[in-house]
Structure 1
Amino acid sequence: MNIIEPRNPGGQHKPASTWWPHTGIEAPHRLELQNLTEIDHGPGTAFTADLVHPHHGVIGRVSDSGPRGDTEFYTRDATVFGYDHLVAFTEQCRQDGEPLPPRWRGTTALLNAVVDESETARIVNSMRRSGTFLLRSYAPRSEYNGGAQRGQVLSTQMPLLSKAARETLAARLAAEPEHALLEDEIWQMFNGQQWTPMLPGPQRTAEQTIKRLAQVSAVRIRPDQPLWSRWSTEIEPGLYATGNVGADRFTVSEDSEPMVNCTEWCPCGGERETSRFETWNGHGLIEAGTVHARKRCRRLIAIE
């Protein structure tokens, strides 16, 4: 099963202008939370927060009384953005390619998505600062579950780029009853930009592998150079390979800068020039992704 969250399955409707990456919502724009206050009262956590509109600012409060309560909206000014506005906004939204339920069920689902989107965005921001790797269970929409199921976000201590590292993590989680996947679930990872399947990991076809290894083999064998020296060459237009003469491992990238930092996420803001990279050995591809092309950064933007 190879699931990347659908944005417009089947092309049956015009996609909305804004994609909420953590909850699968398509909407005219974002709604966000700020000033979140949580209250632990035994069986669960209640919260209140300001609901922020991109054009009107704070439009009201969102609150949830706990596990048995619904998420509710209390408007600040019904003439600016009241419940009827929320219903109309909800009717323009889709989740996982499907319309939200009508009236209060739809607004509740949307408000829950706002909460989940904000909380997951906070976790992603922490991931970028601390250099961790995020994953969650995911089951696609089916006739039995009424909508895609997204599990609690888990984290590891560092980005996992290789297939072997991800398989090891999946095996460890499978041995823990609280993390064992159900039959229709997979593990998703946050690749730096969106949620994608964690497995099988980066891979290339046999033809692509043979071609890449042949390209590098033709330029790396230089018996006149000491084993600790580095080699670097353009193997095809706009594609560079770099490695140590005495090592099996090498890197292929879209620029001639050999350094790639695979342990940290790029903290730079704004528009960034990027460079895709692949790390190989004599058996095939190990890891792949995209880094900030700036020489002083070279940290991860996305992983494959």
Structure 2
Amino acid sequence: MYKNRLKELMLERNISNHKLAKETTISRQAISKIKNNEFHDISVNVLTELLEYFDVSFNEFGTIYTREECLRALLPDKGFNHKNLDLLESLFSENLRISCKYHPYSSEQCLNIWSKGYFKKFSFSGNMRINTSLYGLTFEITDFDLYKKSENFHFDDFYNFYKKFIIQLEHYALTLGFTQIVINVNSYTDKDLDTRLEPRKVNSKDLNFLTNNYKYSNRENELIKTSIIKKRGYIEHSDNDSYQKIKSEKERINNYVDCLNHLTFFEKEQKRISMFSEGNIYSDHDTKKFIKPLNSEFIPKEKLEKDVKRRWGW
């Protein structure tokens, strides 16, 4: 990762965004992005022009950081320290009326979180970590499971709690200045169909049916999670080239199946399995990463969907 000093150089020489844009071919929008995000990805042409304009060398304009060095440089403000955990607890307390237990580890880069014992209707646990990309720090939810403890609950309350929990994590990441949030979703074994499946977005009627009529398991957890994050604008990412090529076809089949309202949930799943088989589409059971930019000015959607291997170093 390359950390630029554009903001510092502009302050030293009293150069405004307007002046720099006027005296170069770089747009004010591009200047603002680089200036406000010191780890922003800079094209060779733009970098060359900036070096010439400020009459500095590559090493004088910025510093190359390894992933570990980047984390050490940025973690003091964004790690899971007491101050930031107080912020997270306040978000949960004020908006969800819950309290959690926290266990930071790996030099405050990772966090284990779980609900306190008096939480009556649901229990949950999860793991989060701070990662890096060419755009800066990523807030990643590596694992999160919400379970019902009581049969005496309404599905809408359960679903809305899950959604609000994710929203609070987004607020936390945005407040601390992370450029993106990532949520991992896992494949699950459907014991009723005796097969392993990738989760898909499922309509609320089918989710309601599953949670009210079957023992809550990884299937329901991953389906609810996937349904919520897709509605909230998360983009599925994979560094597997073969999977990228068939992702759109899988999405088409999943959306088609979900609209077959005359079928039960399990009939839809059997239809999905059949269509995958007919199209020679095989499931990828690796963990899926769903990405949401927290500042669309820094990370345009188009950039998330191209140059996958070059841009994402998980």
Structure number with higher relative contact order (C-alpha < 8 Å, ≥ 6 residues apart): 2
* More strand per residue: 1
Q: TM-score, normalised by structure 2?
A: 0.23
* Normalised TM-score (structure 1): 0.23
More helix by proportion, 1 or 2? 2
